[in-house]
Amino acid sequence: MHSQPSHQPPSLSAQQPSALRQDAASGLHYRVLSADTATAPQLLLLLLHGVGGNEGQLAALGQQLDARVRVVLVQAPLAFGPGQFGWFQVSFGAQGPSINPAQAEASRQQLQRLVASLQAECGLGAAQTVIAGFSQGGIMSAGLALTSSQLVGGFGLLSGRILPEIAPLLAAPQELAMLAGFISHGEFDDKLPLAWAEKAERWLSELGVPHQLQLYPAGHQLTAAMVQDFCHWLVARWLH
């Protein structure tokens, strides 16, 4: 197990979400986790929530990281109810999930513009940028990374899947080889069954994308163990 960063601030929970901001280039809204420190960020981390959630869903994950990480909590563009947002509409049937591909593609393009805006703002490039999310947020994170590998250095697919619809948009093999991926999935997931994680793992292997797969005795959820392992992976690779 990787050790915790040696110079974390005394209280990580001091990092509280900012007021909701809107990015002019993408139109997306987001909050930044900010700590009382002048530490210049070494890594930009975008966290994407699942369908029906909101930008606060992954705040607790972001608060496990110290001020070297600029954590951005992104709100999906489609409103499904009060405080409930999504990246695309999805329905579940006998053949598995069925999505609105036009919405998924529009959200992917918005995320491209947001990543570029945030990188310009904090002075970090693709090699110091990671995008990760839970469920539909993980789907969008993997989708962005695999199609726009020039924008990010890594991605986290937390209880999600990789959309087959992105196949025509995949980045070049030499760009994909520069990525790092982290997949976590519950073995008893009844929303996106384990087979989706196994499919993702096989596809990433075929594409030559370096990655690791971690399975847990859990359902469709983001457990403390998943959060801990993702944070350890992130710190070990980018902040060692």
Tens digits of residue pLDDT in 183-215: 999 999 999 999 999 999 999 999 999 999 999
Measured between its terminal Cα atoms, the distance across the chain in Å is: 13
Task: Read off the tokens for 136.
Answer: 């539909």
Burial 198-218 (b: 16+ CB within 10 A, else e): eebbebbeebebebebebbeb
Looking at residue 13, what is its pLDDT? Answer: 45
DSSP structure class, residue 30: E
DSSP 10: S
pLDDT of residue 108: 98
Instruction: State the pLDDT at residue 25.
Output: 97
Q: What is the mean pLDDT of the chain?
A: 92
In tens, the pLDDT along 61-100 reads: 999 999 899 999 999 999 999 999 999 998 877 777 889 9
Residue 40 has pLDDT above 80, yes or no: yes
Q: What is the dihedral of CA 226, 32, 116, 7, to 10 degrees?
A: -60
pTM: 0.92
The pLDDT score that the predictor gives to residue 205 is 98
Q: pLDDT tens digit string along 114-147?
A: 999 999 999 999 999 999 999 999 999 999 999 9
pLDDT for residue 14 is more than 70: no
Amino acid 196: pLDDT? 96
Q: Is the pLDDT of residue 34 over 80?
A: no
For residue 102, is pLDDT > 90?
yes
Tokens of 205: 């292997």
